[in-house]
Amino acid sequence: MKNAETILITGNAGFIGFHLSKTLIESGHNVVGIDNLNDYYDVNIKLNRLKELGVDAKRGSSICNSKSHKNFNFIKLDIQDKKSLIDLFKKYKFSHVCNLAAQAGVRYSLENPDTYIQSNIQGFLNILEVCRKHSVKHLCYASSSSVYGLNDKMPLSTKDAVDHPISLYAASKKSNEMMAHAYSHLFNIPTTGLRFFTVYGPWGRPDMALFKFTKAILNDETIEIYNNGKLIRDFTYIDDIVDGISRVLFNPPKGVSKESINLSNSTAPWKIYNIGNSNPVDLMDFIAAIEQKLNKKAIKEFLPMQAGDVVKTYADTNELQKKFSYKPKTNVKKGIDNFINWYINYYEK
């Protein structure tokens, strides 16, 4: 590819980072991926994602070249390590950065708050600082639908205030959006925050509902269903998430006039988008689709609402549709089928 960009993807061994890397590599871009390979969930899944990209990260070396993609390198690196980040940016002249590295999980934040400050706040500050000093064309970063917190006006819009988060994870993501705005305003760094809505699909995270439910049903174990099943989620298939990121990444914001400013844009080169399916699904219908694919009934335990959870998510993606012709293509039934096919193959069930 002529004039291929050099892109940094943090959290490269993560669920979204892996799929985004694969897409950009296959499009001909030069990609450098970094990840600290922490043990928040099974590290083997992370290592096997990297293996799909041609990298054998088990060798112990901090730098691994892909055997199958000359335009991809993986480096074991934590975004909390500012000195190593500085050295990395000096070595590679990154044109674009997509920050997907973060401590994930709403429930985990209830028991491990320090981790979220270290990774999601300090780590993100390090990313902003190195981007500032190396004049990247665009910094995209993962925000989350969790920032909407107590908002109950549906669909959830980026033009609505998000001042009432109900978990530290959500608060850390709202903080990222505000930190990015400060840097966009002060240093003219184009930044875009992407609020992801309940991402699922092959190579997904073991702590997410689809993975947990599939595993439990196959093993004749009980699945825990919170709020007595009265939950609605805007489940978004991984390919549609990656499509949205790819459309945004190479189109940095430019800022708007004072007269046009709202809560999703600014006079600074700063922007926020929702990336979701815009088709919320009842949790019980979601479980029924898993049961149908597996041809097996789940053993269900109905529980009260968990702290930090919300009852409903529903993304307003009108801005993304108008600006980038974004349109999700994968319905929930097809997405569940694809995940379960992958799961059965991966675990040889």
Give tens-digit pLDDT for 197-224.
999 999 999 999 999 999 999 999 999 9
* Catalytic option among 41, 116, 141, 169: 169
Antiparallel, parallel or unpaired: β 281-282 and 232-233: antiparallel
- Residue 241 covered by a domain: yes
Query: 115 lies in a domain?
Result: yes
For residue 16, give Cα distances in angstroms to 150, 200, 216: 26, 9, 23
Longest dimension (CA), the chain: 59
- Asked whether residue 221 is assigned to any structural domain, the reply reads no
> Does any domain span residue 89?
no
Distance CA 213, CA 207 (A): 10
What per-residue confidence (pLDDT) applies to 62? 67
Q: Residue 274 belongs to a domain with what CATH number?
A: 3.40.50.720
Alpha carbons 186 and 329: distance in angstroms, whole number? 38
Mean pLDDT calculated for residue range 343-349: 91
Average pLDDT for residues 26-34, to the nearest whole number?
96
What token pair was written down for 93?
């002249």
Rounded Cα distance between 116 and 219, Å, is 32
**Structure tokens given for 171:** 């608060």
Averaged pLDDT, 231-257: 97
Domain of residue 174 covers 102-197+235-278+314-329
The pLDDT value given to residue 67: 81
Asked if residue 208 is part of any domain, the answer here is: no
pLDDT of residue 1: 44
pTM of the model: 0.95
- Residue 12 within any structural domain of the chain: no
DSSP 259: G
The yes-or-no answer on residue 169 being catalytic is yes
Region 253-259 average pLDDT = 96
Q: What is the Cα–Cα distance from 126 to 122, expressed in whole angstroms?
A: 6
Kindly state the average pLDDT of the residues 246-253. 97
CB 328 within 8 A of CB 238: no
- The answer to the question of residue 325 being in a domain is yes
Structural domains counted in the chain: 1
Q: What are residue 191's DSSP bridge partners? A: 139, 270
H/E run at residue 85: helix 82-91
DSSP calls for 29-81? -EEEEEE---SSS-HHHHHHHHHHTT--GGG--SEEE-SS-TTEEEEE--TT-
Residue 184 is assigned to a structural domain of this protein: yes
Whether residue 253 has a cis bond before it, omega within 30° of 0: no
